[in-house]
């Protein structure tokens, strides 16, 4: 871009010199030809710069759009992962509660003394 600006400056100098007779020793005809060529190049350069800027803006917009899509996808993935983690924790908590209930029931059965009626009925069945 800096090179382009230097070229533009040189072009403007040629334009100025060709319009005003600054130095009589300079060949006016060659200056007019240079001026025309530089004017053509300047108009072409302006077109190319405008086109390059437009392309750059489009590419930046596309990059921005893609980054937004990636961020949305990342956020959705994180939300899904968090939901799965919470469901897993909830399921583990439920399983631990069921296990604790089962353990308590098992302790109660083991520690519970047998009533006398059960012992006598078992003894009678054996005779």
Q: Which of 91 and 23 is assigned the larger pLDDT?
A: 91
Contact of 17 with 31, CB cutoff 8 Å: yes
Tokens 């090179």 belong to 3
Domain interval for residue 64: 2-111
Answer yes or no: is 125 within a domain.
no
Based on the structure, what is the number of domains in the chain?
A: 1
pLDDT at 109 over 60: yes
Answer yes or no: is 51 within a domain.
yes
pLDDT of residue 46: 82
**Alpha helices (runs of H) in the chain, residue ranges in sequence order:** 2-19, 28-111, 116-126
Contact of 38 with 11, CB cutoff 8 Å: yes
Q: How many residues does the chain have?
A: 127
pTM over 0.75: no
Cα–Cα distance between 79 and 108 in angstroms, integer?
A: 43
Answer yes or no: is 117 within a domain.
no
Confidence of residue 107 (pLDDT cuts 50, 70, 90): confident
């Amino acid at each position: 871009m800096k090179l382009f600006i230097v070229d533009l400056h040189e072009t403007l100098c040629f334009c100025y010199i060709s319009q005003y007779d600054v130095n009589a020793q300079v060949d006016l005809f060659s200056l007019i030809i240079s001026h025309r060529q530089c004017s053509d190049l300047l108009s072409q350069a302006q077109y190319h710069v405008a086109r390059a800027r437009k392309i750059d803006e489009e590419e930046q917009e596309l990059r921005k759009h893609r980054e937004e899509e990636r961020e949305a996808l990342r956020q959705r993935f994180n939300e899904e992962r968090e939901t799965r983690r919470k469901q897993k924790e909830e399921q583990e908590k439920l399983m631990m509660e069921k296990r604790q209930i089962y353990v308590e029931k098992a302790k109660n059965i083991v520690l519970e003394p047998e009533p006398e009626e059960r012992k006598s009925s078992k003894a009678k069945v054996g005779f």
